[in-house]
Amino acid sequence: MSEATSPPPAGLVDLAAERVGGKALIANDEFFAEKENLLKPGRGAFIPDKYTDRGKWMDGWESRRRRTPGNDWCVIQLGLRGIIRKIDIDTNHFLGNHPPFASVDALDTDKEISNAVEKLPWQSLLEKSPLNPGSQNLFDIANDGTWTHVRLNIFPDGGVARLRVYGIVVPDWSKMKRDEVVDLAAVENGGVALACSDMFFSSMQNLIMPGRAANMGDGWETKRRRGPGHDWIILKLGRAGSIQKIEVDTNHFKGNFPNTCSIEGCSTSESDLTNAPWAEILPQTKLEADKRHFFEKELRKIDNCTHVRLNIYPDGGVSRLRVWGTPNPVILSEAKNL
């Protein structure tokens, strides 16, 4: 079985993930294992007795043994344009065949990439760095550029199980009409899960992913609460705005959905939300199993809302949270300069 993916660092999103539209476009060599595996969920599986007509089956991207000078590479189109803060080059299960070194370059373009990869204006994000076998190799990125593509370079050859490109989504808000209602919490609009009380069964990041949940594991679910209190999750909206409508979707959660929920919001520029001025948006409301709940008339207005907190009572699972609203006009006009 595939090992579970570690949750993204707090406040960051995997910009390259297959689930948000990331694509492995071109690789100079994928003799043993396909480049598309780099962006799949999990850390990759290992099946000891599984072989193909080219050799050992591996759940990752693996090139042949290089007998000439040079190095191998793979170009990734990010699913979400953004600023890259951390990169994970995961060599899980690649032990005698991992690359000893790797580097990463980046590009910002809206043009289609052809085979003339070397002629593109790549900028270095990560200099040639050593990799450990069978490990998550994490690197901090000190670059404030906004990127659409990355190129993973491995030296000289070998296999990588997964590539994670963690960063901050930067949507082009100038393409939206001033009064357009959008999902301010959606990951593609820059929303991000900052913190939660518990995510024992599934990641808090699932709550704002595109589309409806594929299954129960594709939502946010807490362990069974045996004491007092309730569970909660805090989301930073992609843009401050005025909330018009909210959806709480318990899709797939039948014997484990929350009994009730409430939603609070605040307007703050502070990164520490310990003393945030939370105000009620939706009072504590009964929920049902496996159902999309829509709230509009029940909502209390908060101007310039920057964060929301979903409280569930006492525990359970929610597959998606949608927070539709109009982005703050001032911020919207400033976004044209991004």
DSSP code for 217:
G
Confidence of residue 4 (pLDDT cuts 50, 70, 90): low
**pLDDT score, position 275:** 85
> What superfamily in CATH does domain 13-169 come from?
Galactose-binding domain-like (2.60.120.260)
Q: Is the pLDDT confidence value at 242 over 90?
A: yes
The reply to whether 173-331 shares the fold of 13-169 is yes
Confidence of residue 89 (pLDDT cuts 50, 70, 90): very high
In this structure, the chain runs to a length of 338
| Residue ranges of domains in the chain | 13-169, 173-331
Residues 6+ apart with CB under 8 A from 213: 206, 219, 249, 251, 252, 319, 320
Q: What percent of the chain has pLDDT over 70?
A: 96
Q: Is the pLDDT confidence value at 335 over 80?
A: no
Task: Quote the CA–CA distance of 265 and 26 in Å, as a whole number.
Answer: 43
pTM: 0.91
**pLDDT score, position 5:** 67
Tokens 């593109």 sit on residue: 120
Confidence of residue 274 (pLDDT cuts 50, 70, 90): confident
Residues 6+ apart with CB under 8 A from 182: 176, 189, 324, 325, 326, 327
Task: Quote the CA–CA distance of 37 and 16 in Å, as a whole number.
Answer: 12
For residue 165, how many C-alpha atoms fall within 13 Å in the half-sphere facing its CB? 36
* 12-16, 54-58, 278-282: the lowest-pLDDT one: 54-58
Residues 6+ apart with CB under 8 A from 185: 191, 208, 235, 237, 238, 308, 321, 322, 323
Confidence of residue 7 (pLDDT cuts 50, 70, 90): confident
Residues 6+ apart with CB under 8 A from 215: 252
Confidence of residue 182 (pLDDT cuts 50, 70, 90): very high
**pLDDT score, position 331:** 45
**pLDDT score, position 178:** 76
**CATH (residue range 173-331):** 2.60.120.260
* 2-6, 15-19, 210-214, 250-254: the lowest-pLDDT one: 2-6
Q: Is 228 helix (H, G, I), strand (E, B) or coil?
A: coil
* 5-9, 188-192, 310-314: the lowest-pLDDT one: 5-9
| Torsion of Cα atoms, 201 then 203 then 204 then 209, to 10° | -120
Residues 6+ apart with CB under 8 A from 337: none
Backbone φ and ψ for 7, nearest 5 degrees, come out as -60, 145
Tokens 């595996």 sit on residue: 37
